[in-house]
Amino acid sequence: MPRRLWLAHKAVARRMGEDALAVVLTALAADPALVDEVVTAAREASPEVARLPESENRRHIAVVVAAAIAAVEDPAEPGDEVFAAAEALGADRAAQGIPLEALLRGVHAGRTRAVDIAVTHAREAGVPPQEMLDALVRFNRHAGALERHVISGHHRAELTARDAHTHVLRRLLHGADLADEEIARAGLRPDGRYHCVLTDVADPVRARTLEPRLAASGGVFGLVEGRLAGLSARAPVLDDVADLVIVAPAAALSEVRTRYDLCLTAGRAVPGLRGVHQLTDLAGETALAAQPVLAGLLATEYLGALDRTDPFHRQLASTGIAYLDHGQRLDQTAEALHVHPNTVRYRLVKLGELTGTRPAPTTVPETLRWWWALHTWLG
């Protein structure tokens, strides 16, 4: 038996009926070998906690033991000092990137092992069973309060960090020059290259659901100008997203403002589009959307005879776009529209009669003009 525990047993014999269990707990807290057992239990239960220095784990155990001693010595709640230490522990773990679930696994495992050791040695020291039971009941109550403060500290630190990170993100996307230290505190590398990511998600509840999936690729995300946006170390891979996600090619932080502006333009150019799309795949729509006046002139020249409020005219224009999108192939256009090829042929002829020319371009520039005119006219 370690000398500290032997001395504790002697002290218990002298002070039976007063604070015998507190004497044992104090001796346990001072024994490095037993503290190591508790630290090991916490590290084995949580790989994330195990990646921290052992000195950090020991500080964690000190908070638990302080609560245990307080539970034995005073039936009331532990003092503000113990709760403040618990909140600081939660805040520090958040700053260290330890998820709350992983932190609590370590807390629970360490607490369980500490109680097992304390009960074993208290029994050996002759602490009466009823006294141990009363102390354990109080400790469990105190431990619950302690855990709530750990959680509170973790959440508060996460929110503070999140606000700071979002502030940095907004400034970067708006072209501000930031110090390397400020960029690093937001979790970004000043010399790194990042994909600008923009979604059409404006609802905060939906944003909170999508954000963790995007952040899994590394980087910082938040609401910017009312839309979920971010800088990602890797291009996000999402198979079943119901929202529009535009991903720009990776760039240095000094260049993300331009990428962000292009993503905004692309998002406005493709209303109703869903899924993950590379910005470069939307280059045509994005470029054309930057010339609204020219688009209007073209639509008027090509389709001025059509009436936007006439459903049949809109059907003809939609068929014209589908025809161009499918390489001017009647069969493929018909399949896409779920109609017979003869129906497609009829609509194209009718469109030509109304506009004075059929959309059957033979050159790329002519195809572009027709597609742009039809797309603009449909709005």
| N-terminal to C-terminal alpha carbon distance within the chain | 84
Q: Measured on CA atoms in the order 193, 198, 204, 209, is the torsion positive or negative?
A: negative
Q: Does 197 score more than 90 pLDDT?
A: yes
**21, 122 Cβ separation under 8 angstroms:** yes
Whether residue 4 is predicted with pLDDT greater than 70 in this model: the reply is no
pLDDT score recorded for residue 208: 85
Measured in whole angstroms, the distance separating CA 226 from the mean position of its chain's CA atoms is 17
Please tell me the predicted confidence (pLDDT) of residue 97.
67
* Confidence band of 107 (pLDDT split at 50, 70, 90): confident
Per-residue model confidence (pLDDT) at position 364: 87
Mean of pLDDT over the chain: 84
**Measured distance CA(323)–CA(319) in Å, rounded:** 6
Lowest-confidence segment of 21-35, 37-51, 319-333, 359-373 by average pLDDT: 21-35
> What b/e string do you get for 346-371 counting C-beta neighbours within 10 Å, with b at 16 or more?
ebbebbeebbeeebebeeeeebebbb
Residues 300-328: what's their mean pLDDT?
A: 94
Mean pLDDT calculated for residue range 79-94: 81
Candidate from 97-111, 224-238, 282-296 with smallest mean pLDDT: 97-111
pLDDT at 69: 63
CA separation for the pair 312, 350 (Å, rounded): 10
- The one-letter amino acid at 116: D
Residue 1 pLDDT grade (very low, low, confident, very high; cuts 50, 70, 90): very low
The whole-angstrom separation of Cα 253 and Cα 172 is 7
State residue 12's pLDDT score: 39
- Determine the pLDDT at residue 370: 92
Locate the domains of the chain by residue range: 3-160, 190-285, 292-378
Give the model's pLDDT for residue 255: 95
3-state secondary structure of 247: strand
pLDDT at 117: 80
- Across 51-65, average pLDDT: 73
At 8, the pLDDT band (50, 70, 90 cuts) reads very low
* CA separation for the pair 265, 283 (Å, rounded): 10
**76 pLDDT higher than 70:** no
Alpha helices of the chain — where are they, by DSSP H? 3-15, 20-29, 32-45, 47-50, 54-73, 80-95, 100-124, 129-173, 180-185, 204-215, 256-269, 283-289, 292-303, 311-325, 330-337, 341-355, 364-378
Band the pLDDT of 78: cuts 50, 70, 90. low
